[in-house]
Amino acid sequence: MRSAKRSLLVTIAALFVSSYVFMLSPFITASGPGDSVHPLVIIEGAVFYAGLIVGYVFFFMASKQRKKSSKSERSAAGRPGLLTFFSSTPAAVFDVVFVLSLIMTVISVATGERMPDVLIYFFISTLIFSAQMRAIVNGINFRTIFGMAGVRGKRIREES
Protein backbone atom coordinates (compact mmCIF):
# COMPACT_ATOMS: atom_id res chain seq x y z
CA MET A 1 0.00 0.00 0.00
CA ARG A 2 3.07 2.21 0.33
CA SER A 3 3.27 2.75 -3.44
CA ALA A 4 -0.44 3.60 -3.51
CA LYS A 5 0.19 6.27 -0.86
CA ARG A 6 3.03 7.70 -2.92
CA SER A 7 0.85 7.74 -6.03
CA LEU A 8 -1.93 9.53 -4.17
CA LEU A 9 0.52 12.10 -2.77
CA VAL A 10 1.88 12.74 -6.29
CA THR A 11 -1.74 13.18 -7.41
CA ILE A 12 -2.35 15.80 -4.73
CA ALA A 13 0.87 17.67 -5.55
CA ALA A 14 0.18 17.66 -9.30
CA LEU A 15 -3.38 18.89 -8.81
CA PHE A 16 -2.13 21.63 -6.49
CA VAL A 17 0.36 22.87 -9.09
CA SER A 18 -2.26 22.59 -11.83
CA SER A 19 -4.80 24.60 -9.84
CA TYR A 20 -2.55 27.33 -8.51
CA VAL A 21 -0.74 28.01 -11.79
CA PHE A 22 -3.65 30.39 -12.43
CA MET A 23 -2.13 32.69 -9.81
CA LEU A 24 0.36 33.75 -12.49
CA SER A 25 -2.41 35.04 -14.79
CA PRO A 26 -2.62 38.60 -13.43
CA PHE A 27 1.12 39.04 -13.96
CA ILE A 28 1.17 37.80 -17.56
CA THR A 29 -0.04 40.02 -20.35
CA ALA A 30 -1.97 38.11 -23.00
CA SER A 31 0.04 39.43 -25.91
CA GLY A 32 3.75 39.33 -26.47
CA PRO A 33 5.80 41.34 -28.92
CA GLY A 34 3.58 42.44 -31.79
CA ASP A 35 0.31 40.52 -31.88
CA SER A 36 1.72 37.14 -30.86
CA VAL A 37 0.64 35.24 -27.75
CA HIS A 38 2.98 35.73 -24.81
CA PRO A 39 5.08 32.57 -24.27
CA LEU A 40 4.25 32.53 -20.54
CA VAL A 41 0.55 32.15 -21.39
CA ILE A 42 1.39 28.99 -23.33
CA ILE A 43 3.60 27.72 -20.49
CA GLU A 44 0.84 28.43 -17.97
CA GLY A 45 -1.66 26.40 -20.02
CA ALA A 46 0.83 23.59 -20.52
CA VAL A 47 1.56 23.39 -16.78
CA PHE A 48 -2.18 23.36 -16.03
CA TYR A 49 -2.92 20.47 -18.39
CA ALA A 50 0.29 18.59 -17.52
CA GLY A 51 -0.66 18.80 -13.84
CA LEU A 52 -4.13 17.45 -14.58
CA ILE A 53 -2.80 14.60 -16.71
CA VAL A 54 -0.04 13.63 -14.26
CA GLY A 55 -2.43 13.95 -11.31
CA TYR A 56 -5.11 11.73 -12.75
CA VAL A 57 -2.69 9.16 -14.19
CA PHE A 58 -1.22 8.75 -10.69
CA PHE A 59 -4.73 8.69 -9.21
CA PHE A 60 -5.70 5.77 -11.45
CA MET A 61 -2.41 4.08 -10.57
CA ALA A 62 -3.23 4.44 -6.86
CA SER A 63 -6.70 3.05 -7.50
CA LYS A 64 -5.28 0.07 -9.36
CA GLN A 65 -2.71 -0.53 -6.59
CA ARG A 66 -5.44 -0.35 -3.93
CA LYS A 67 -7.60 -2.87 -5.76
CA LYS A 68 -4.62 -5.16 -6.32
CA SER A 69 -3.50 -5.12 -2.66
CA SER A 70 -6.99 -5.58 -1.18
CA LYS A 71 -7.79 -9.24 -0.76
CA SER A 72 -11.47 -8.60 -0.34
CA GLU A 73 -12.59 -6.05 -2.91
CA ARG A 74 -14.54 -3.39 -1.08
CA SER A 75 -16.64 -1.11 -3.22
CA ALA A 76 -17.70 2.42 -2.40
CA ALA A 77 -20.87 2.62 -0.35
CA GLY A 78 -23.10 3.58 -3.26
CA ARG A 79 -21.94 7.11 -4.03
CA PRO A 80 -18.74 8.36 -5.67
CA GLY A 81 -16.52 10.74 -3.71
CA LEU A 82 -17.77 13.67 -5.75
CA LEU A 83 -21.28 13.19 -4.32
CA THR A 84 -20.21 12.31 -0.77
CA PHE A 85 -19.82 14.94 1.94
CA PHE A 86 -18.04 14.94 5.33
CA SER A 87 -16.90 11.30 5.17
CA SER A 88 -13.74 11.98 7.23
CA THR A 89 -11.90 14.86 8.87
CA PRO A 90 -9.82 15.75 5.77
CA ALA A 91 -12.97 15.48 3.68
CA ALA A 92 -14.82 17.85 6.00
CA VAL A 93 -11.98 20.37 5.71
CA PHE A 94 -12.05 20.30 1.91
CA ASP A 95 -15.87 20.35 1.85
CA VAL A 96 -15.88 23.56 3.91
CA VAL A 97 -13.04 25.10 1.87
CA PHE A 98 -14.93 24.23 -1.33
CA VAL A 99 -18.15 25.92 -0.17
CA LEU A 100 -16.30 29.00 1.11
CA SER A 101 -14.22 29.35 -2.06
CA LEU A 102 -17.35 28.93 -4.19
CA ILE A 103 -19.06 31.74 -2.28
CA MET A 104 -15.96 33.96 -2.43
CA THR A 105 -15.48 33.26 -6.16
CA VAL A 106 -19.04 34.32 -6.92
CA ILE A 107 -18.67 37.44 -4.79
CA SER A 108 -15.27 38.34 -6.27
CA VAL A 109 -16.43 37.87 -9.86
CA ALA A 110 -19.60 39.88 -9.20
CA THR A 111 -17.58 42.74 -7.69
CA GLY A 112 -14.61 42.30 -10.04
CA GLU A 113 -13.84 45.97 -10.59
CA ARG A 114 -13.50 46.63 -6.85
CA MET A 115 -11.40 43.58 -6.04
CA PRO A 116 -7.73 42.99 -6.99
CA ASP A 117 -7.18 40.46 -9.79
CA VAL A 118 -4.80 38.45 -7.63
CA LEU A 119 -7.56 37.86 -5.09
CA ILE A 120 -10.03 36.76 -7.78
CA TYR A 121 -7.50 34.31 -9.22
CA PHE A 122 -6.71 33.03 -5.72
CA PHE A 123 -10.39 32.23 -5.10
CA ILE A 124 -10.71 30.55 -8.51
CA SER A 125 -7.55 28.50 -7.92
CA THR A 126 -8.74 27.48 -4.46
CA LEU A 127 -12.13 26.52 -5.89
CA ILE A 128 -10.53 24.32 -8.56
CA PHE A 129 -8.16 22.63 -6.08
CA SER A 130 -10.75 22.12 -3.34
CA ALA A 131 -13.30 20.70 -5.81
CA GLN A 132 -10.80 18.08 -6.94
CA MET A 133 -9.54 17.36 -3.44
CA ARG A 134 -12.99 16.96 -1.93
CA ALA A 135 -13.79 14.36 -4.57
CA ILE A 136 -10.55 12.51 -3.82
CA VAL A 137 -10.65 12.61 0.00
CA ASN A 138 -14.33 11.62 0.09
CA GLY A 139 -13.58 8.63 -2.17
CA ILE A 140 -12.89 5.00 -1.32
CA ASN A 141 -9.26 5.14 -2.54
CA PHE A 142 -8.21 7.82 -0.07
CA ARG A 143 -10.10 6.25 2.84
CA THR A 144 -8.67 2.79 2.15
CA ILE A 145 -5.08 3.84 1.43
CA PHE A 146 -4.85 6.12 4.47
CA GLY A 147 -7.02 3.92 6.73
CA MET A 148 -9.61 6.62 7.40
CA ALA A 149 -13.09 5.96 8.76
CA GLY A 150 -15.57 5.16 6.04
CA VAL A 151 -18.87 6.87 5.29
CA ARG A 152 -20.71 4.67 7.76
CA GLY A 153 -18.11 5.22 10.48
CA LYS A 154 -16.48 1.79 10.10
CA ARG A 155 -12.73 1.86 9.78
CA ILE A 156 -11.43 0.51 6.50
CA ARG A 157 -8.48 -1.76 7.16
CA GLU A 158 -5.57 -2.47 4.89
CA GLU A 159 -5.47 -6.18 4.17
CA SER A 160 -2.10 -7.34 2.92
Number of domains comprising the chain: 1
pLDDT at position 160? 39
Residues 139, 83: Cα–Cα separation, whole Å: 9
pLDDT of residue 32: 57
Give the pLDDT of residue 34.
62
Which residues in the chain show pLDDT less than 50? 72, 76, 151-153, 156-160
In a domain, 10, yes or no: yes
Is residue 154, in this structure, part of any structural domain at all? no
Q: In whole angstroms, what is the distance from residue 32 CA to residue 78 CA?
A: 50
Residues near 18 by beta carbon (within 8 Å), at least 6 away in sequence: 47, 48, 49, 50, 51, 52, 55, 128
Element containing residue 128 per DSSP (H, E): helix 117-137
Residue 41 sits in which domain range?
A: 2-145
- pLDDT of 83 reads 77
Whether 151 is covered by a domain: the verdict is no
Answer whether 0.85 is exceeded by the pTM: no
* Contact predicate 124/105, CB 8 Å: yes
